[in-house]
Amino acid sequence: MTENWVANTTVGIEAERARGAAPSVVPARDIAIALNLINQAMMRATFTGQQPAVDDGKVVDTLLHVWLNAIYGGVCANS
C-alpha cells in the first residue's frame, strides 16, 4: 500500500518540477517517501491517542504545511 502512495506522490512532485513550480534539490522519490511516512506516523499518533500528537482538528493543516514546504521549498503563505 505504501509503495503505491510513494509512487503516486513521486509522479506528482516530478510533474510540478517539470512545469517549473518546484525546485529539484532532493530526489522526488526521497521526498515522497519522507512525506508519506510522516503522514502515517502523524495520523497514527493523532487518531490512536499516542503522545506526542497533533490535535485532530489541526493534523490536516499541519501536514499540508509540511507537504507544501517540502515540495515547493520555502515558507508557503496560508498553509
Walk me through the domains of the chain, giving residue ranges and CATH numbers: 2-72 (1.10.357.10)
Q: Cis peptide leading into 23, omega within 30 of 0?
A: no
Predicted confidence (pLDDT) per residue in 4-38, tens digit: 999 999 999 999 999 999 999 999 999 999 999 99
Q: Cis peptide leading into 52, omega within 30 of 0?
A: yes
Q: Which three cell numbers stand for residue 18?
A: 517539470
Q: What residue type is assigned to position 68 of the chain?
A: L
Q: What residue type is assigned to position 36 of the chain?
A: N
Its pTM surpasses 0.95: no
> Residue 54, class by beta-carbon neighbours within 10 Å (0-12 exposed, 13-18 middle, 19+ buried)?
middle
